[in-house]
Amino acid sequence: MASKLNPYLNFDGNAREAMEFYQSVLGGELLVHTFGDSMPDAGDIGDQVMHASLITEAGYTIFASDTPPGMTRTLGTSVTISISGDETELLRSYWAGLTAGAEIEMPLEVQMWGDEYGSFTDRYGIPWMVNITVS
Q: To the nearest whole number, what is the mean pLDDT of the chain? A: 91
Contact 20, 32 (CB under 8 A): no
List Cα–Cα distances, 17 to 14, 47, 115, in angstroms: 5, 12, 32
Q: Is the pLDDT of residue 105 over 90?
A: yes
The confidence score (pLDDT) of residue 88 equals 95
The confidence score (pLDDT) of residue 92 equals 96
In this predicted model, what pLDDT tens digit does every residue of 17-64 receive, in sequence order? 999 999 999 999 999 999 999 888 888 888 999 999 999 999 999 999
